[in-house]
Each structure stands twice: as structure tokens, then as C-alpha cells.
Amino acid sequence: MLDYGHFIGGKHVKGASGRAGDVFQPMTGEVRAKVAFASKAEVAAAVENAKAAQPAWAATNPQRRARVMMKFLELANRDYDKLAEVLAREHGKTVADAKGDLQRGLEVVEFSIGIPHLLKGEYTEGAGPGIDLYSMRQALGVVAGITPFNFPAMIPLWKCAPAIACGNAFILKPSERDPGVPMMLAELFMEAGLPAGVLNVVNGDKEAVDAILEHPDIQAVGFVGSTPIAEYIYGKGCSAGKRVQCFGGAKNHMIIMPDADMDQAVDALIGAGYGSAGERCMAVSVAVPVGQKTADILVEKLIPRVESLKIGPSTSADADFGPLVTAAHLKKVKDYVDIGIKEGAKLKVDGRNFKMQGYENGFYMGGCLFDDVTRDMRIYKEEIFGPVLSVVRAKTYEEGLKLANDHEYGNGVAIFTRDGDAARDFAAKVQVGMVGVNVPIPVPLAYYTFGGWKRSGFGDLNQHGPDSVRFYTKTKTVTSRWPSGMKEGAEFVIPTMK
């Protein structure tokens, strides 16, 4: 059995708190590893190492920092298959899906290689008599990221790569459910030439999270997870004077217009709704067909597709999705299906009793499909985070748009249509942070920014893209004048350009 401690000061450190948790292998239900839970003192030790290493790292020129990113990218691609296998075994997603998880993280590393350009400031010569103005972006110092179980490679890289490239030292607190890949990524950064202490990984639970939020030397915190925890971290971090960005839950709608290619729409819903067992913050969990005829055709086409989904172990090459992450989460998702039935929704496909032959103790569940879901039902209002798709019928386009706009979450949304006017109107009016037009999962590429609206996102700046550089740096503006251009005598009024 594996034993995960922490990664502090460039080396693996055993846990010293006496507290630990189990890391499961979801496809078998077996305990794969023990993971140490950090105490406040262990988090403080990581911060001290980061604080000691950060000034020299910030003083390293951006091009040399970029070369570390380039080397890390090379090493991660060398170990690509190994990383994906560990990720699949601890999370439960298929190896193919795990590779996508890793790839989307590495694309942000690729973006971060451009840090010499991204950190360039502004310069104005002759802004006044003998006066020049220029700005510079400087690292914050020690920053931290608290990341979720569902993307154990992608989101840690979204957080740490831009932060480190900007010259910060980073404290990563990954999910205690699947910490193996984050620990491996830290090792690869060291092999790539990152100085010891610049990246530290502390495993743990709420005690470690609170220690990060309370530590006075941590200047900024990024979080991805559920909305209640996002609100907690945002409130506590801001009250402690930190810069904070938090991304929470989602209920992503896909509007299907009457003119849409119905086969394409069904393909999109199957992949976006059930991929990774629905454990994605960008998963489509609500299908909104517009018009009775559209709805009837859509449901008729969805039923056999959901019934024929291939569920298998994470290592299966032809599985559509694998098991859920833990037994507790499996029960939670099944409980939501029970709630939907009690609320009066029509369960068209029931995957609750699925058993995987040879893997009877694994955390498996088949796809579920609800029809006639209404906006007052809990299965519509709350994030289920499992392989459950709800069909909410809309009479008109305006009603479908209103559904997305009125929901408390505003992470992602999509519209499927052949009508350019409808698509353009939808993109302009929908109150959601990321919009897809005939694209079911509109996750922006690394050089744009990722972030939801309403109760899906807290803070002014988003993840990756230019926002990540803004979040992990502070701007300093210098007004410069040399003695030859200076007037004699004191000036008692505020300087102006008049």
C-alpha cells in the first residue's frame, strides 16, 4: 500500500500529525493508499520553505523561469502514460479521459512559457517635462491553491504554473481523494530545475485549508470545488486580507432549438452529460429542448443512447466512463435520483442498480435520464455531480434563455442551433460566464480565461489566460525625473500635466 506524506522543501516528508485518510481505487473499491493530513505546523513549515525560496526565484529572469516550464513540459510528456494511469486509478475516470485531464493542464504550462512577454509593463517617455512613466508587474510572494478531486492534474497545473512563472512560490493543497498525481507533478518540477521550496504540496483536510487561510505570509489563494466551500474560503480569505479567487458549483444548461441537428445534439449531450461519470464542473446536466416536438424527438433519441452507455473499469479501453470517486459520493448521487422520483420527475433510464462483473465492490453506476423536470425540483436546482441528465422542456426560446439566466449557478451554457441570429442573441443575453454555440463543453483554451458567474465564481479575476498573470502579480508604477530636468524649490501642490 502506498503512503502519501507531503512535498516540502524539494523532498518528500512523512506526515507528522498522526492523522490520515484512505485513498481508494474506485474501480475495485479497494484502499490504494494512505494520505497524511497536515497539521497547522506542517503547513507553516511549507510556507517557511516557500518564503525562503521565493525572493531568489522572483529575481531569476523571466526567460530562465520559462525554461523551467519548458523542461517540465518535456518531462510531463515523457511520463504522460504513467501520470494518466495513476490519475485513472485514484479518480476512477478512464485512462483516455485522464489523458485529457493532463493535457488541458499542460496547455496552461505552455501558455506560461510565454511569461517574458506576459510580464512586460508599459512605458511612456516624456509624460511631462523631463518625466518618464513606466509600470512593472511583480510577484506577490507566497501564494496557494486548494484544488478538487475531479481534475487532479489539470486544476493544480492551472493554479501553480502561472503563479510560479510569475515568480511566486506556491503551496498546493490537492484533494485528499486522489493526491498521487499532484505529488508526481511536484517531483517533475524539481527534475525540471525548479529550486527547492518554490513548489510545496501539503495534503490534508479542513485543518490544512484553515491553516492556509490564516497564515499571514500567504498573499493569495485560489480554490475550485463546491459553492458552499467556495463561499467559506472566499469570505475567510478576504477577511484575512488575501487576494482570493474561488470557483464553485454548476448547473450547466444546453438549449436545443427546433432547427438544431438532433443527432449532433444527442451526441453532444451523451458526451458532455455522462463523460467522466458526470463529475465535471462543466458537465451538461440540464437539456432544454425548445418546443414539444423537439422535446419528444430528443428524449426518444436519448433513451437508447443512455441505455447503451458502456461503463467499465478505469483501465478499459472502450468504456465510456468509469466508476465514481468514492462510495459516499456514489450514495449521494443515487439519493438524488430517489429525490427526483419523489418530486415527480419521470425517470426514463435508471442506472442505479448497475453492477460491474468482476468489480462488484467498485463504485459504479449506470446513466440516468429524467424527463419532465421542473425548475422547482431539487434535482434541477442543485448540483448532482454524477451521470444524471435532466430534461427541462421549454415552450419558447425566451423561456429556455430565462431558465439559464434565472439559475443561481452561471458556469457554462450551450445552445445548439443552425440560426445565427438566435445564437448571437443567446451569446449576448445569457448570464453565464462561458458560452458554447454548438459546442457542449465550452472550456476556453489556455490563452483565454476560465470562470463562471453568479454563485459559480467569487472574485474579480478568473483562471488561466491573462487573468492568471494579473491575479498572481501586483502592478507598480514608477514616475521618474532626473536632476537636469528638475525645478529648484519645493512644490506644495499635487503634480499635474497642465
For 8, half-sphere exposure in the C-beta direction (CA atoms, 13 angstrom radius) is 21
Which of 11-15, 458-462, 479-483 has the largest mean confidence? Answer: 11-15
**Active-site residue (options: 160, 246, 281, 368):** 281
Which of 323-332, 416-425, 484-493 comes out lowest in average pLDDT?
484-493
* φ/ψ of residue 157, rounded to 5: -70, -35
pLDDT of residue 485: 58
pLDDT of residue 162: 98
- Write the Ramachandran bin of 369: left for phi over 0, alpha for psi from -120 to 50, otherwise beta: beta
Q: Which residues contact 252 (CB under 8 A, 6 or more apart)?
A: 272, 282, 283, 284, 285, 286, 409, 411, 412, 413, 414
Please, which pLDDT band fits residue 497 given cuts at 50, 70 and 90?
Answer: low
Q: What angle do CA 193, 196, 198 make, to 5 degrees?
A: 90
pLDDT greater than 70 at residue 486: no
Pick the CATH number of 252-437 from 3.30.2350.10, 3.40.50.720, 3.40.309.10, 3.50.50.60: 3.40.309.10
Convert the pLDDT of each residue in 29-60 to its tens digit.
999 999 999 999 999 999 999 999 999 999 99
**Could you identify the residue written with the cell 487532479?**
152
CATH, domain range 2-248+456-478: 3.40.605.10
Q: Percentage of the chain with pLDDT > 90? A: 95
Mean pLDDT of all residues in the chain? Answer: 96
Coil vs helix vs strand at 214: helix
**pLDDT score of 15 more than 90:** yes
pLDDT-wise least confident of 120-129, 278-287, 387-396? 120-129
- pLDDT-derived band at 128 (thresholds 50, 70, 90) equals confident
Stated pTM of the model: 0.94
Q: How confident is the model at residue 206 (pLDDT cuts 50, 70, 90)?
A: very high
Q: Is 397 exposed, middle or buried (0-12, 13-18, 19+ CB in 10 A)?
A: buried
Region 307-323: mean pLDDT is: 96
Give the three-class secondary structure for 292. helix
Length of the chain, in residues: 498
What mean pLDDT do residues 127-155 have? Answer: 95
In the residue annotation, 166 being an active-site residue is answered as no
Q: What strands, in cross-sheet order, belong to the sheet with 473-481? A: 123-128, 131-139, 473-481
In angstroms, rounded to a whole number, what is the distance separating the alpha carbons of residues 264 and 253?
A: 16
Containing 154, the helix (H) or strand (E) segment is helix 154-165
Q: With residue 136 as reference, give the H or E element that holds it.
A: strand 131-139
Query: Residue 490 — pLDDT band, cuts 50, 70, 90?
Result: confident
**Are the C-beta atoms of residues 129 and 485 closer than 8 Å to each other?**
yes
Pairing of strands 368-371, 388-391: parallel
Extents of the domains making up the chain = 2-248+456-478, 252-437
* H-state helical runs in 227-350: 227-239, 262-274, 292-307, 327-343
Q: Given pLDDT bands bounded at 50, 70 and 90, which one contains residue 93?
A: very high
Give the distance between the most distant pair of CA atoms in the chain.
89
pLDDT confidence of residue 190: 98
Look at residue 245 in the predicted model and tell me its pLDDT.
96
Does the pLDDT at position 304 exceed 80?
yes
Q: Which among 223, 224, 217, 225 is positioned nearest to 242, based on CA atoms?
A: 217
